[in-house]
Amino acid sequence: MLYDIIVVGGGPAGLTAALYARRANKSVLVIEKATFGGQITYSPKVENIPGFLSLTGNEFAERLVEQVLEQGADVEAAEVLEIRDGEVKTVITDSGEFTSRTVIVATGARHRLLGLPGEEDYIGEGISFCAVCDGAFYEGKTVAVIGGGNSALQEALLLSDLAKKVFVVQNLDFLTGEDKLSEQIAERDNIEVILGTVVKELHGKGELSSITVEESATGKTSELSLDGMFVAIGLVPQNEKFKNVIVLDERGYADAGEDCKTSTSGIFTAGDCRAKRIRQVATAAADGAIAALAACDYVDGR
């Protein structure tokens, strides 16, 4: 089947794109390699989505997926390996090839690592990225959250309901998350914020047992005994496989403006994988709508 639009990525940007494209009566296939809904499915509580006072990220994702399926979009659980340009675009996956008149790349971003020796070996063995997924394993124990932004503070608050002690280790001299979250952090007796400090080493035989941290100003080091560590220091765009059809900036983000058009005719981008200043659910959804309408115009020859 030749689709009008193939959407690569099933997060808020990709699913919104599919929704708008189907509303315009275009045939749509959404391809997602992992979890439909994207990174927001790991958020235990979301309060900044218009129209919802509060809900979990997973609840939001489920509603969005249901809405897209109800509109008649096709979905495929597969990993996209390559996009080939041409009058007809070919999307090659680990489960087959699909063709389309246009492609919207909405692959989002993955968790950024600290870049320390042995770090990947500890993933699942003391290092995690999702408190809502793994927090229960650390009930009554001591954990650290690395980072000081919204995601890190949300993780710390959730963990403080379960863990005996939560360290928040931030490399800057201040927290970068919202003031409201910082205030909630300060109110928790079992959360200790350590500013101006970086993680230098990881320790443990088979499982993480402690970390060495260093004060940036003085170079003084100390060791924190831990049962687990949650890394929340940002995301890395997943665009490398598409650099043959999309110009990437120095950080690997798709070099596309607010119109979501890439350097290749008929290929668009949306969401956290695009170069932009603000990355929120609302801006991802906005990108998805813009990219979809641009793709519809392309299909219609406008």
Q: In sequence order, which ranges of the chain are alpha helices (DSSP H)?
A: 12-23, 57-70, 119-122, 131-134, 150-160, 179-187, 281-299
Judged on CB neighbours under 10 Å (0-12, 13-18, 19+), 192 is middle
Cα dist from 120 to 24, 83, 123, 225, 300, whole Å: 44, 29, 5, 19, 47
296 given a catalytic annotation: no
- 255 has catalytic annotation: no
Out of 74, 121, 134, 255, pick the active-site residue: 134
Exposure class string for 171-187: b at 16+ Cβ within 10 A, else e: beeebebeeebbebbee
Question: What's CA 210's distance to the chain center, in Å?
Answer: 27
Of 74, 85, 121, 130, the active-site residue reads: 130
Whole-number Å distance between alpha carbons of 160 and 182: 14
Catalytic-residue membership of 130: yes
Q: Which residues contact 96 (CB under 8 A, 6 or more apart)?
A: 78
**Ramachandran assignment for 115, one of left (phi > 0), alpha (psi -120 to 50 degrees), beta (any other):** left
The 10 Å CB-count burial string (b at 16+, else e) for 287-300 is bbbbbbbbbbebbe
* Among 133, 161, 259, 300, the one annotated catalytic: 133
Active site residues per annotation: 130, 133-134
